[in-house]
Structures are given as C-alpha cells and as structure tokens.
Structure 1
Amino acid sequence: MYHWLNMKTKQKILSGVFLILFGVLPSHAQIGEHRDEFSIGVSGGYVMSNVAFVPKVNQGYHGGITGGISVRYKSEKYFNTICSVVGEINYSQIGWKESILDTNNQPVINAKTGLAEKYSRTLNYIQVPVLAHLAWGKEYKGMQFFINLGPQFGYLISESTDMNFELSSRNTTARVNPVIAQDSMNVENKFDYGIAVGGGLEYSHPKIGHILLEARYYYGLANIYGSSKRDYFSKSNIGNIVIKATYLFDISKTKKSTIKSK
C-alpha cells in the first residue's frame, strides 16, 4: 500500500502538514483568546512497528520502548479549541519481526537447530516530532480530549539483530515467503521523516500539572534501503503505533486578567 508515492507526492504531503502546523494555528491569533504558556516534561511508552517492504516480507509487530523530553507552547483558545504546538525528542526502539512460515502456515523448522526459525531487527532512533496540538474540554482543571498532527524526523543511531539460526543454514526452501535479502542488509538511509497523528486524553490540575495518555500512528515517507531500479527493494518505509503517557509541568502561564473563561 502507498508504494506508488513518488518523491514529489511525499514532499506535497509534508508541505501540507507544515501548512497546518505553522499556517492554520497562527491564522486564528487575531480573533482567538490569547495564551502564552510554556510547559515541559517527560514521556514514555510502548511502540509496535514494522517495515513495509516491496517485495513483501511477512511480519508481525516488533515491540520496543520509547521515551524522552516533551515541550508544549499554548498560543490561544479559538472558540472552544485550545491551540498549542508540541515538540519532543525521543529515543525509540523500532524495527521489524518476521513471520517465518511454510505453505501450511506453520513455523519453518531449521534443520541444524531443530527450532522454529525466528528473526527480528531492532532499529534505535532519535525521533523529533513537531505537532499541532488541538484540545477541547477543561483547560486548567479537569479533562480534555486532544488530537496531534505534524511531521516527524528521525535518525538511526544503532541497529541489532535477534535470530536463532545462522544465515548460511536457514531453511529457505520451506518458506512461503522467499524474500530474505533484508536479513543480511544494514540500513542504508539513516535519516527518516514522515507524518504522525494521534489522539488522547489529558487531565490538568494547577497543583500537579498535566497528565496525558495518547495513542499515535506514524507513517514514514522515507525508505531505510535504496529504492532505485538497481536496488532490491522498491519500498521499505517504517510504520508504527505508539501508546504513551506524558507528564508536563508549567514553566510560564497566561496572566489571569487576560483569560475570559476557563
């Protein structure tokens, strides 16, 4: 799916998201209620990821952790919509976990070890999402529902492989999916970029700060391997689902005299 996206289309998608992030929100500044609030904190969660290979590689979800620093700047309240920009710097364990099955949908057994073959690759990234944050509900004391949308950038800092067989002795004849080139290929393109979108709930209280629970999806627009006609894979982009919790505390707040309603 989406392997037809060329570079020009990807650039248009990313440009559209930047317009939403830096164009739509500021456009309300003349008629919305002004806010000037800065919060900082930490976040952590669990990532379920895979890589969309073409030719296809059968996979389950690779599990890993994510965590880092979060900042938020709240700029205004436009009618009932609380408008902010969120930035994060996260360490994330993503990658792929292969489903090595035969034509009967049974695990492939390695002749040398006698065990079902297992293979997964962990890619350790530093990821930097920059997101438009739109919220509805109780602004300073109570619950809000929110959505996040924006670009995300990442850089691969290391990778590791977990497998229970030697590449030279793997059982390739029994596999229903014969694609194995990725098993011995290091990531070629360390820089990653794409689109992140999420939603969740936030509880705010003036004495304790802000606690957020979020589910987020990321769709990568870059490929981890070369995608020219000379390369083996025409597509190898990352996708992941993140379940995370964030705690923020306020560094600066809007003066109460400028707030019409809470």
Structure 2
Amino acid sequence: MKKYKNFGLLVLALFFALPAAAQLGEERHNFAVGINGGLNMSTVSFNPKIKLNTLNTMSAGVTMRYMSEKYFKMMCGVQMEINYSQRGWDEKIEDESGNSYSRTMNYLEIPFMAHLAFGKDALNRGVKVFFNAGPQIGFFLGDNEKINWTTSTTRPEHGKEVENKFDYGITAGAGLEVSTGIGHFLLEGRYYMGLSDFYKNSKRDYFERSAHSFIGIRLSYLIDITK
C-alpha cells in the first residue's frame, strides 16, 4: 500500500510543478463552468485477490475551470468538479454453477486538478489538446448488490458493508477541446487510482486492500463566465 501512495505523491508533485513554472507567462483570467457526463469502466484492487470483470457505471456532474497563465504555447489553469459517480466490481465466475455477483457503489467525488492545454488560446475558436491531473476525494453514498448464488457458502465480500466511507486517490486524463462561439466541448479519457480502502485493513481483518480504480470517458460542455 505504501508504494501506491508514494507513486501518487510523486505524480502529483511533478504535475503541479509545471503550472508553477509558468508564473512568468502571460496572465489569463478565464473562468468557465459547465456540465460533464460519461462512463466509468470500474474495478477494485483486492488483496486477497478476486478475479473480476469490468463493471460499466455512470458519472455526471458540474465542472469549474480557471485558466490563469499562458507560457509560450502552454496554457495553465486549475479544474474542479463535483460529480455523482458510480463504481464497483463484477466477479468473474469460472465454473458452471450459474452464480453471479456484482456491486455498484455510489460516490460524491471531488477532483481538483491542474489543467494544461496546448493549441489555440482559450479566448479563440479552435482545437486544443489538454492534460489533467490531481488529487480526488470521494464520499460514499450507498450501494446496490446483485447476487445470484446457488451454492451454500458465499464469499467474505458478499453482504459486507462499506467500513470506510471516505475515499481518496489520484486522477489523471488527457483529451481534446473544441472551442466555439457557443462554448467549449471537451472529450477526455481519465484514469483514477484509489489510495484508500473501503474495508478495514488491519492484521485481524480479511482484506489487506480494497481500493477503487476506473478508466473513465468524459464529455463536458463549458461556457465562459469571464475572459
């Protein structure tokens, strides 16, 4: 678990160092807000390991972005979102029992990311390539289990309630932005790696690790409030 946290801190330090280096650039004061929505291809890192399929879930929320600097061809800013996000897992059953189990977990998630863009200035129309990365926190709202289990014994995770309702990790993504006269349209691929466990992980507990991860596809629409 420690190596995951160290890796996450290193990624964040490197990424946030880039906007800091741009403070000698040309100032921008461009604030935009909008909506986002998309698909999460979710799984969970369990230890002891459980064989899983990807669980397709949804995400939707509000996006706020502030662009503060332009340094040569790189535009720097920050982006925050408040999302309703579903995660979870679907267990891979490799026998012929007909058993199945999946759990969808609902979170209020808040990523706070550095935003770097290359291409046409945000004040003009055109296409840009962008990168996002930063920390993310989440608050567990509830879950839904789908179980069809015909054998007499179930697994330790079946019916087990979430014990840690605060989630945190790092998220990073890249995509394309098309700026038009009616707003900004963004298509992004994003990855989230959880650094926390939703089950207790002491020596007397069954699971040493139970952390979320997902690959997301996001479509966002932003309109400028200030330029």
TM exceeding 0.5: yes
Partner of 1:112: none
Give 2:147's aligned residue.
163
Q: Does 1:26 align with 2:20?
A: yes
| Counterpart residue number, 2:158 | 183
Cα distance in 2 for residues equivalent to 1:12 and 1:68: 29
5 Å matches for 1:99-110? 99-102=92-95, 108-109=96-97
CA distance in 2: counterparts of 1:219 and 1:23, whole angstroms = 20
Which deviations, in whole Å up to 9, do the C-alpha atoms of 1:197-254 show, x marking residues without a partner?
100000002x21100000000000001111111010111111101001000000000x
Gaps of 5+ in 1: 103-107, 110-115, 173-178, 254-262
Q: Which has the larger radius of gyration?
A: 1
> Would the aligned equivalents of 2:61 and 2:84 in 1 still touch at CA under 8 Å?
yes
Alpha-carbon shift at residue 23 of structure 1 (Å) = 4.8
Identify which of 179, 183, 195 aligns with 1:221.
195
In the alignment, which of 70, 77, 80 is matched to residue 84 of structure 1? 77
Whether 1:135 aligns to 2:120 is no
Residue matched to 1:35: 28
Residues 17 and 151 in structure 1, CA contact (< 8 A), matched pair in contact too: no
Task: Answer whether contact 2:55 2:89 (CA < 8 A) is retained.
Answer: yes
**Alpha-carbon distance in structure 1 between the residues aligned to 2:5 and 2:148:** 40
Instruction: Give the conservation status (yes or no) of the 8 Å contact 2:12–2:133.
Output: no
CA contact (8 A) 1:69 1:88 kept: yes
Q: Any residues of structure 2 matched to 1:141-152 within 5 Å, and which?
A: 141-152=125-136
Task: Give structure 2 stretches of 5+ with no counterpart.
Answer: none
2:46 matched residue in structure 1:
53
Partner of 1:176: none
Q: Percent sequence identity over matched residues?
A: 44
Whole-Å separation in 2 of the counterparts to 1:77 and 1:37: 11
Matched, 1:123 2:119: no
- Aligned-partner SS, 2:158: helix
Aligned-partner SS, 1:76: strand
Q: TM-score, normalised by structure 1?
A: 0.81
The normalised TM-score by structure 2 is 0.93
Which residue of the other structure, out of 169, 182, 192, is the alignment partner of 1:194?
Answer: 169
The alignment covers a number of residue pairs equal to 225
CA RMSD of aligned residues (A): 1.7
Kept after mapping to 2: 8 A contact 1:21/1:131: no
Contact kept in structure 1, 2:30 and 2:68, CA below 8 Å: yes
- The residue number in structure 2 matching 1:258 is none
Q: Which residue matches 1:66?
A: 59
SS in 2 for 1:56: coil
- Higher percent of residues as strand: 2
Indicate if the aligned counterparts of 1:149 and 1:198 stay in contact, CA closer than 8 A. yes
Paired AA for residue 96 in structure 1: W
Q: Aligned residue for 1:247?
A: 221
SS of equivalent to 1:28: helix
CA distance in 2, matches of 1:127, 1:188: 17
- Partners of 1:18 and 1:215 in 2: how far apart? 18
Which secondary structure does the structure 1 equivalent of 2:57 belong to?
Answer: strand
1: CA distance, partners of 2:127 / 2:22? 24
